Amino acid sequence: MSERRILEIAANSLTSALAAQAGGADRIELCENLGEGGTTPSYGTIALARERLTIAVYVLIRPRGGDFVYDGDEREAMRRDVAMCRQLRCDGVVLGALDVDGDVDIDTCRALIDEAGTMGVTFHRAFDAARDPVAALERIVDLRCERVLTSGGQPTALAGADAIAAYARQSAGRMRIMAGAGVNAAILPELIRRGGVNEVHASARRLRASPATNRAGLLPGLEPDYMATDVDEVRALRAALDGSTTK
Residue ranges of domains in the chain:
6-208+219-243
pLDDT of residue 245: 52
Vertex 82, ends 80 and 85: CA angle to 5°?
110
pLDDT of residue 172: 87
CB 46 within 8 A of CB 90: yes
Is 70 exceeded by the pLDDT of residue 247?
Answer: no
CB 10 within 8 A of CB 203: yes
10 SS3 class: strand
Beta bridge partners of 150: 179
pLDDT of residue 219: 79
What are φ and ψ of residue 52, in 5° steps? -105, -10
Alpha-carbon distance 200 to 25, whole Å?
Answer: 10
Is 50 exceeded by the pLDDT of residue 106?
Answer: yes
Which H/E stretch holds residue 52? Answer: helix 43-52
Alpha-carbon distance 87 to 93, whole Å?
Answer: 12
pTM listed for this prediction: 0.94
CATH number for the domain formed by residue range(s) 6-208+219-243: 3.20.20.380
Query: What contacts 11, CB < 8 A, 6 or more positions away?
Result: 17, 19, 20, 28, 29, 30, 31, 49, 203, 229
Among 25-34, 112-121, 125-134, 202-211, the minimum mean pLDDT is found in 202-211
Alpha-carbon distance 190 to 4, whole Å?
Answer: 17
For residues 13-36, give the mean pLDDT. Answer: 96
Q: Which one-letter DSSP state was computed for residue 166?
A: H
Which residue, 32, 5, 4, is CA-closest to 16? Answer: 32
Q: Confidence band (pLDDT; 50, 70, 90) for 246?
A: very low
Is 90 exceeded by the pLDDT of residue 213?
Answer: no
pLDDT (tens digit per residue) in 70-79: 999 999 999 9
SS3 content of the chain, % helix, strand, coil (to 5): 40, 20, 40
For residues 204-220, give the mean pLDDT. Answer: 84
